[in-house]
Amino acid sequence: MKFGVVVFPGVNCDRDCRDAVTAVTGQPVEFIWHQETSVEGFDALVLPGGFSYGDYLRPGAIARFSPVMAAIGAFARRGGLVIGICNGFQMLTEAGLLPGALLKNAGTKYVCRYLHLRAESSETPFTCAMEKGRLLHMPIGHGDGNYQADRETLGRLEDADRIAFRYVDGDGRATAEANPNGSVSNIAGIVNEGRNVMGMMPHPDRSFDRILGSEDGRLVFQSMIGALSRV
C-alpha cells in the first residue's frame, strides 16, 4: 500500500503526516508536489494541514486550483481513499469534494489545544478501527474550523451516517461548551457520499505517539490500512 502526502506551498503538517503514516502503518509514503498532474500508483492520499498559499482569499481556496487537485478529484471519484486534515479539510470543501464550508471560528480566535472527539460512525474507511461512540483525545489548531452547511445538506449527512466525528466533553456529551469553533451540530469531521473522502479539523497526525500527548490518532491510520487491506 502506498500513501501519498500532497504538499502545497504553505502547508506545515506534511512531515507530521508522513511520520504518522509511517509509524502507524509501516507502509511506504511519498510526498506529491502540488504541481504534479498524476497520482498514479498511490493507494491513499493525505492532504495535510497548514496555511496553503498563506490562507489568502479563503483557506484552501487557492490550493483548490493547484494542478494536482484535478488528479485528486479523479482519484476520489474512482473510490480512492483521501483524507484531508485541517487545511486539507478546507481544501476538500473548497474543491467540492466534501459539502459545506469552514468559516472563521465563532469566537474569532485561533484555537490550539487538545480536546475530545466522539467517533460517530465506524462505517467509514477512516473510522472502522473504532467502535461507534469511542472517545478520542486529539489536538486542534485552527482559526477557520467552524463547519457550516445548509439544513438540507446536514439532513443528508445525518441520515446517511456521514458525520465521522463530533466535538464532545470528557464525558462524551456534544455540548455547546465542548464546541471549540461554533461548528453546526459540533461537527469535527465528515465523509463524502462514497465514504472514501474524509475531512476532519483535529489532527490525528499530531497524536500518534504517547510522547505527543495522545496516541488516539493512530486509530484513523489503522482504520485506513485495515480498509485498504480488505479491498
Residues of this chain that interact with another protein (CB under 8 A) are: 57-58, 61, 65, 93-94, 99-101, 103-108, 146, 148-150, 182
CB of residue 207 to another protein, shortest distance in Å: 27
C-alpha to C-alpha distance for 147 and 187, rounded to whole angstroms = 7
Nearer to another protein, 17 or 68 (CB): 68
Q: How far is the CB of 152 from another protein (least distance, A)?
A: 12
DSSP-derived letter for residue 221 is H
Task: Closer to another protein by CB, 96 or 213: give it.
Answer: 96
Question: Who's near 231: CB < 8 A, 6+ residues apart?
Answer: none
Q: What is the smallest separation between the CB atom of 58 and another protein, expressed in angstroms?
A: 6
Residue 127, Cβ neighbours under 10 Å: how many? 27
No. of helices (H) and no. of strands (E), the chain = 5, 11
Spatial distance between the Cα atoms of 189 and 100, rounded to a whole number of angstroms: 11
Rounded distance between C-alpha atoms, residue 90 and residue 141, angstroms:
13
- The residue among 93 and 127 lying less far from another protein, judged by its C-beta, is 93
Which amino acid makes up residue 41? G
In this complex, which beta carbon is closest to another protein, that of residue 107 or of residue 170? 107
Q: How far is the CB of 101 from another protein (least distance, A)?
A: 4
Spatial separation of the C-alpha atoms in residues 51 and 87, rounded to whole Å: 7
Determine the Cα–Cα distance for residues 75 and 57; give it in Å rounded to an integer: 26
Provide, rounded to whole angstroms, the least separation between the CB of residue 179 and another protein. Answer: 13
By C-beta, is 33 or 65 nearer to another protein? 65
